[in-house]
Amino acid sequence: MPTAIRHTLLWGTVLVLMGCEPELPAFTVADVREIPAHFPAYVEPADNPLNEAKWELGRHLFFDKRFSADGMLSCASCHNPSLAMADSLAVTPGTFGALGVRNAPALVNLAWQPRFHREGGVPSLEAQVLAPVQEPTEFHRDLVELVDELGQDPQYRDWSREGFDRPFDAYVMTRALAAFQRTLISGSSPYDRWLQGQAEALSPAALRGWERFEEFECASCHQGVMLSDFTTHNTGLYATYVDQGAYRLTFDSTDIGAFKTPSLRNVALTGPYMFDGSLPSLESVLEHYASGGSGHVNQDERIQPRSLSAQDRSDLMAFLESLTDDEFVTWSEGLRP
């Protein structure tokens, strides 16, 4: 019998029904995307194992413009495969051109992320989509109406039955999207090849940049193979924050201006930068951190004024550009139905 589970979001509580997974021929993430050898083990939720029908349904949903109230936008409108699943605008216009306040984050290596959204307020990938669906400045849809509309699609109904053994509903929609997004795996950049022992994969400039990256404590937040600690920090972007970040969840004044550390994978492709897209280039990001930030009371103490020579800046840029995974972008572009 189905049981009810509750997802708590900033915008309220949405109930979706759980159900049993059908038994299908073996189909794993390896049938879609190779797990890099230097990555942690790939773990998928026990209640959302991958199968082919589920992945195909999630892939098509990701590119489906019926998600938006005006029929003009899909998930891929903000998370462009050609831009490493990010966007080139500071803030992407939503339904009917409505503007929010936040920059679209890159969707990459989500299977290893413990929480989602800019302040890290959503604990599962399955729950994540419920927010943009209902947000007035994004898709601006009533969840029930959206599910009813998408459920009229004969192919979606077939994949739902095959992948989940149930009719298309909110449970199916959220879990199919999550299953697909977990396969957006990027780990074949020059930096990755260097981590795997290919000494020539990084140029001398990129190697010097990596040393500066470590020396200037950038790696203490952008750490590990995922290049993020996935926790929230105030980076001193502003002296006063209109968008108060994690404070919106915790009501703890020490969280004002704190946002989740983004991964730096493919960062040369994902500008503009920061939670609101206010810094247009990587050079401007380096300048912000070299300046020591705004001095906000909650600013992370590791952000201090630093003297960066022209060589330092050039080398840091070379390192950041070495994080670009061209193979991932090419593969992503082929996902469009």
Our CA dihedral for 268, 270, 276, 279, rounded to 10 degrees, sits at 30
Task: Assess whether 169 and 40 both reside in one domain.
Answer: yes
Q: Provide the domain limits for residue 236.
A: 190-325
Mean pLDDT of the chain: 93
For 214-269, the pLDDT digits (tens) are 999 999 999 999 999 999 999 999 999 999 999 999 999 999 999 999 999 999 99
Res 18 pLDDT > 50: no
Task: Assess whether 51 and 149 both reside in one domain.
Answer: yes
Task: Assess whether 168 and 203 both reside in one domain.
Answer: no
For 87-141, the pLDDT digits (tens) are 999 999 999 999 999 999 999 999 999 999 999 999 999 999 999 999 999 999 9
Examine the fold and report which residue of 185, 218, 250 is the final residue of a domain before the chain moves on.
185
Helices (H) and strands (E) in the chain, counts: 13, 4
Task: Assess whether 129 and 168 both reside in one domain.
Answer: yes
Distance between CA atoms of 59 and 75, rounded to whole angstroms?
Answer: 10
Angle at 177 between CA 244 and CA 274, to 5 degrees: 30
For 182-208, the pLDDT digits (tens) are 999 999 999 999 999 999 999 999 999
Task: Assess whether 134 and 283 both reside in one domain.
Answer: no
Strand partners, 299: 234
Task: Assess whether 101 and 200 both reside in one domain.
Answer: no
Task: Assess whether 256 and 132 both reside in one domain.
Answer: no
Q: Where are the beta strands (DSSP E) in the chain?
A: 4-9, 12-17, 232-234, 258-260
Examine the fold and report which residue of 185, 212, 240 is the final residue of a domain before the chain moves on.
185
